[in-house]
Structure 1
Amino acid sequence: MSTSITDLAKAMAGAWNAGETERVIALAGQATPADEEDEGVQVLLGLAQQATGRHRQAAATFRRLAQMRPGVSAYWNNLAVACRQAGDLPAAEQALLTALALAPDDAEVHYNLGLLYTQQQRWILARQTLLDAVALDPHFIEARLQAAYACYVCGDNTQQEAMLGGASDWPAQPAEQALVLSAMLSVQGNLDAALHTLAHAQLPDEPAAGVMRLRIAAQRVLLFERNNRIDAAQDELRRLPPDVLDALPADAQRARADGWRAHAALAMRRGAYAEADALYRRVLACAGDDESQASAAFGLASALDRQGLYPEAWQALQKAHATQLEIARNVVPELLATDSQPLQVTSGSVEQAARADWKPLSSPGSRQSPVFVVGFPRSGTTLLEQMLDAHPDFQSMDERAYIHDLIEGMELVGQRYPADLASLTQQDADQLRSVYRRMVGEVLPELGERRLVDKNPLNMLCLPMIMRLFPNARIILCLRHPCDVLLSCSMQPFRSPAFMVLCSSLQRLARGYAKAFEQWHRDVERFAPHVLEWRYESVVSQFDDQVARLGPFLEIADTSPMTRFAEHARHKRFISTPSYAQVTEGVHRKAVGRWQNYREQFVPVLPVLQPWIDRLGYTV
């Protein structure tokens, strides 16, 4: 007796609902030619094939469905997912674009297209497509997570933070995604949420679960170290005994690399540089992705530098930067041209005549305005920020790009920056200040009467915006020998793709440094802001005298709490910049003149830097 189409579909649906995917496929094998025209039979067969890893067969099934019913976007969407899983990415993209044309408001289609772009490392497209998915369905957790990661890769900290809003309340994530989520939450300074995410990660079946536990333990070590909780990191490291890492199977290279990286990070913190050197080499031998390779190469360079092995350290840095350039190539390929300008803000300036045309506007006084800490990165801005934050009258918000965000906001509504600052009305300026304060309030809800410290080094390139909104603000320009600045930048694994490019060579860095200071001095001449120059070398050699200078400038009587910044930084735990460990150690001279160890590498760029070395009062 033959089974009718309806009965076959019903039997397959029963098996599917019972989780018997192999039986679904077996029942489909009984289908007659007439049965094969039944949509229900084909849909269940395709889903079962997909669930059991038969991706090519699933693609063939969904392709047939899409041909049978070309107007059904779900069939094209399913076809795309099967093609992506089978490795046929061009076919997946074509199917998704068809699905998107049929259902432009379907968040799942946008999400799957974003996943495809992520797999292809087309990060700009991935970021926007995933953000579109979230805009269509704000409660789509998987889309928020993937959008946040795409923003993370693209260096879009503001949108990343927005995507992760409420992440501490998300349901438990599969372990692989939990590792990504916890890393992003840690970057935002939310250690508790990061640890919670790891604690509730959904583990795969054994033996993969055992390997994943090692990766989670390694992540916890790095989270604790990054938040200056060294004792907790050492305790967690006991879960990663070297013999266990050595005994891992060949297909567990990721876990092995994560484990050795955790050991290396703590070896660096206790000053065991030769041990860290050997450990980072182990990481490099087994790390498979560019980000891990670059991170390990930067770590190795630091360990070699601390041992005085300067040529070897420079060689490791070249490997690190070459790897980072490959990451940046997929995000900002236009910046890889030799004449590119990674510091995009330097393109705008205000001429003296245009400055004279600015309409006078009511604005806050100095004590109601933020204190802006600026300077080229690695000039001592974090050190000063922590000093100010240690004073009860001030509070810093860690490094935020809110002034840059205001500039982007102007440009998004068709206003030209900085030219259209001249035509801002009182209402416009008040609204921009309100937006700024709202963003600040989200990270510092208890700021109260304390004065905000806005430390972002490259706000030095945003002086026109600062002077339009806060013309009475106190601005502290951090200075350090240009060669020491460039060396320190070269040795840091910056996350921003633009900074990856900028720091990829001393030549690019030197040009960027010169252009940044050209704009700064041009803008200072135009606006005459209240600026205090804060020289790193003077701070480490005359600490008390330099701290005393802050009192009159910031209009405070007692600066003594600032001298206890190292203890304050240790209690604060999370500090987002690469100086998170150094500022807990107090002031020392080890970083002064460090570039002389690499003088041979600096000789070609000294002609670019010499005018600024002279103008800032330094020597070579």
Structure 2
Amino acid sequence: MSTTTAELAKAMADAWNTGQAERVIAIAARAAPADAEDEDVLVLLGLAQQATGRHPQAAATFRRLAQMRPDVSAYWNNLAVACRQAGDLPASEQALLTALSLAPDDAELHYNLGLLYTQQRHWLLARQSLLDAVHLAPHFIEARLQAAYACYVCGDNTHQETMLSGAVDWPAQPAEQALVLSAMLSVQGNLDAALRTLAHAQFPAEPAAGVMRLRIAAQRVLLYERNNQIGAAQNELQQLPPEALDALPADAEQARADGWRAHAAMAMRRGAYAEAEALYQRVLACTIDDESQASAAFGLASARDRQGQYPEAWQALQKAHATQLDIARNVVPELLATDSRPLQMTGGNIEHGTHADWKPLSSPDSRQSPVFVVGFPRSGTTLLEQMLDAHPDFRSMDERAYIHDLIESMELVGQHYPADLANLTQQDADQLRGVYRRMVGEVLPDLGERRLVDKNPLNMLCLPMIMRLFPHARIILCLRHPCDVLLSCSMQPFRSPAFMVLCSSLQRLAQGYASAFEQWYRDVDAFAPHVLEWRYESVVSQFDEQVARLGQFLETADASPMARFAEHARDKRFISTPSYAQVTEGVHRKAVGRWQNYREQLEPVLPVLRPWIDRLGYTE
């Protein structure tokens, strides 16, 4: 390097180290053509261009560096970031793949590739790249946060929880990221950590800071409402005066929508349904992301339904489902095919009599086994869970997919489910139960001698695994009129992409319902489990008798605490399912026969449901 070039590079480095990015660019502009091609000069110039928002110029600079030194992964990484910021996403991906071929164990490269896929809404690819980054650098907090969000979008709750482990101790996050992190922590039931994340958020400069304060206030309202802390939500709502939302600049659409959505949620809680309808319409008039659009459309449908505006409510539901399909298309595009089966069937190969050939294994008795609450979603499983959790002898862990996880763990090691259940050794079964109990222990470290309640509706599709590990378990199948089930599913903003697709049309949903019960009764015939059929309509009309019946099935001397479930649910704060508000109100008949208001819409799927309406003892 000549003296002139060395001095040039030093002057640029001094300017860069004192935060004078514009001066770095100015010095480079005075360089002779030969000096301008020096590697150190180009690195500093590219960084300064990037720092000042000159992304196309930065991309051109880093491309020159990558061509000069194609063996340096950092230059390809810098090129990729500059291309992504400049909007050239294909070039960014190609540069990152080149960098990874040179440095496959570089966590930052996997992280940047994950960010690129996130921007492209290629969520499965984003999730894998970000999980890879965390695997290589477990303390890479930004990667953990982005991986958790990708898992959140993909409906991967297990990995999301793993990524957010220890998040309560993370350093303060920029306000935009704090909003995302707090939402995910709330979904996990950790309201205190969610609120702490918002309290420590780092704000941008004004006027953007004022906009972010309104968004964070709106988030607090929704967090408190979601956790049934209505007084706290109402107090927080005072930080969102309507005139402040109206006064927001035109480019603050998301903040305006967040604020109106918070007001709408509280109007629904007050029973001011016409007001809520108008507020949700204001949200939908904003230019916002798909998730916010879908949430507002479901809210609008609920507000109209409460006012008896059934055709208008159904119209809002169609918009909600169309928006959710757009979300799901970027996660599970294969499920949008007309012949797809969004509801994954995990069993069905155990024929009657085959179970008798299983190798006998020792297993826990009924009192040492979980109580499994199953049934098609929206059949009253949350109500029953809260009844059981209200009893001092039982403890629920909210909705977890741990039995599904055990099935996945079998398949990952090359075993075929359910066929290979027959070949499990005592050690295999003990290990699987040990994994299950460790997962439970992370959620309920204080379970002690209380009986575990494992409520996951679609565990009805996992009966072979349950019977292999806990053959003496008490299982409660929740039933409700199939048409009421379908209507209720249609009106819920499920987070699972597969369920978004399943509920997108009544035809898909009806077929999924029929397939689930076909498998359930086929498995029941094969295994003859200890099952109690728990009918929602009977609970509503004969509550005391049904509580006594439940206590008898579970061999509980005094079932009376179960009757105080509504009070218990109010004290519990977070309940993960869409029924979080309803179960605090006690038992009522409003949800019985509700489908008749939408009979015209449900009429085309009655032929699919009719066999199950008859078999389950219902009428049209």
| TM-score interval, smaller chain | over 0.9
Is 1:246 aligned with 2:269? no
CA distance in 1, matches of 2:392, 2:508: 40
1:427 paired to 2:419: no
- Percent pairwise identity: 87
Tell me what 2:495 maps to.
495
**Are the aligned partners of 1:464 and 1:523 in contact in 2 as well (CA < 8 Å)?**
yes
Structure 2 CA distance for aligned equivalents of residues 367 and 571 of structure 1: 27
CA deviations over 1:425-481 (Å, ceiling 9, x no partner): 000000000000000000000000000000000000000000000000000000000
Tell me how far apart the structure 1 counterparts of residues 405 and 287 of structure 2 sit (CA, whole Å): 35
Q: Does the CA-based 8 Å contact 2:348-2:523 persist in structure 1?
A: no
1:561 matches 2:567: no
In the other structure, the counterpart of 1:109 is 109
Q: What is aligned with 2:146? A: 146
Residue 339 (structure 1) aligned with residue 339 (structure 2): yes
Which residue in 2 is equivalent to 1:55?
A: 55
CA–CA distance in structure 2, aligned partners of residues 299 and 560 of structure 1: 36
Letter in 1 for 2:365: G
Structure 1 CA distance for aligned equivalents of residues 349 and 395 of structure 2: 30
Cα distance in 2 for residues equivalent to 1:132 and 1:16: 32
Normalising by structure 2, what TM-score?
0.99
Deviations 1:200-222 (A, max 9, x none): 11101000000000000000000
| Displacement after TM superposition at 1:369 (Å) | 0.2
Please say if 1:538 is aligned against 2:538: yes
SS at match of 1:286: coil
CA distance in 1: counterparts of 2:616 and 2:139, whole angstroms? 52
Number of the residue aligned with 2:549: 549
Q: What is the alpha-carbon distance in structure 2 between the residues aligned to residue 384 and residue 420 of structure 1?
A: 33
Q: Which amino acid aligns with 1:208?
A: A
Aligned pairs for 1:58-137 (under 5 A) are 58-137=58-137
Distance 1:168 1:11 in 2: 43
**Contact 1:141/1:170 (CA < 8 Å) preserved in 2?**
yes
Matched, 1:585 2:596: no
**Contact 1:566 1:584 (8 Å CA) reproduced:** yes
Give 3-state SS (helix, strand or coil) of 1:359's partner: coil
**Partner AA of 1:297 in structure 2:** A
Which residue in 2 is equivalent to 1:164? 164
Aligned match of 1:476? 476
In the other structure, the counterpart of 1:33 is: 33
Asked if the contact 2:363–2:469 (Cα under 8 Å) also holds between the matched residues in 1, the reply is yes
Displacement after TM superposition at 1:345 (Å):
2.3
Cα drift, residue 61 of structure 1:
0.5
Count of residues in Structure 1 that have an aligned counterpart in Structure 2: 619
Task: Say whether the 8 Å CA contact 1:127–1:150 is kept in structure 2.
Answer: yes
Contact 1:349 1:519 in 2 (8 A): no
In 1, distance between residues paired with 2:581 and 2:591? Answer: 14
Q: CA shift at 1:552, angstroms? A: 1.5
User: Residue 4 of structure 1: SS of its match in structure 2?
Assistant: helix
* Aligned-partner Cα distance in 2 for 1:568–1:3: 78
The offset of 1:347, in angstroms, is 5.5
Q: What is the alpha-carbon distance in structure 1 between the residues aligned to residue 203 and residue 595 of structure 2?
A: 47
C-alpha displacement at 1:353, in angstroms? 3.9
SS in 1 for 2:256: helix
- For residue 97 of structure 1, what is the amino acid of its counterpart? L
* Counterpart for residue 22 of structure 1: 22
The one-letter amino acid of 1:355's match is H
Which residue is equivalent to 1:464? 464
Matched with 2:198 is 198
In 2, the alpha carbon distance for the partners of 1:572 and 1:512 equals 32
RMSD of aligned Cα (Å): 0.8
Q: Which residue matches 1:371? A: 371
One-letter amino acid of the structure 2 residue matched with residue 599 of structure 1: R
Q: Deviations over 1:529-558 (max 9, x none)?
A: 000010000001111110000122111100
User: How many angstroms apart in 1 are the aligned matches of 2:206 and 2:54?
Assistant: 22
The unaligned stretches of length 5 or more in structure 2 are none
Supply the distance in 1 between the matched residues of 2:478 and 2:373 (Cα, whole angstroms): 7
Does residue 180 of structure 1 match 2:180?
A: yes
d(CA) in 2 for partners of 1:137, 1:408: 25
SS in 2 for 1:386: helix
Deviation readout 1:164-200 (Å, 9 max, x if unpaired): 0000100111111110000000000000110011111
Equivalent residues in 2 for 1:216-235, closer than 5 Å: 216-235=216-235
C-alpha distance in 1, partners of 2:9/2:378? 66
Q: How far did 1:77 drift?
A: 0.3
The equivalent of 1:597 in structure 2 is 597
What is the rounded CA distance, in whole Å, between the counterparts of 1:377 and 1:398 in structure 2?
14
Distance 2:509 2:610 in 1: 14
**TM-superposed deviation, 1:129:** 0.6
Q: Is the 8 A contact 1:399 1:456 kept in 2?
A: yes
CA distance in 1, matches of 2:31, 2:217: 50
- One-letter amino acid of the counterpart of residue 520, structure 2: W
Tell me how far apart the structure 2 counterparts of residues 295 and 347 of structure 1 sit (CA, whole Å): 33
Separation (CA, whole Å) in 2 of partners of 1:233 and 1:22: 47
Rounded to whole Å, the distance in 2 between the matches of 1:206 and 1:238 is: 22
Q: Structure 1 stretch 578-587 or stretch 350-359: which is displaced more?
A: 350-359
Question: Which amino acid is the alignment partner of residue 145 of structure 1?
Answer: L
CA distance in 2, matches of 1:571, 1:10: 64
CA distance in structure 2 between the partners assigned to 1:179 and 1:287 by the alignment: 19
User: 1:348: Cα distance to partner?
Assistant: 3.6
Task: Give, in whole Å, the separation in 2 of the partners of 1:261 and 1:37.
Answer: 54
Contact kept? 1:346, 1:519, Cα under 8 Å:
no
Q: Secondary structure at the match of 2:534?
A: strand
Task: Provide the rounded CA distance (Å) in 2 between the counterparts of 1:529 and 1:390.
Answer: 25
Gaps of 5+ in 1: none
Partner of 1:309: 309
SS in 1 for 2:462: helix
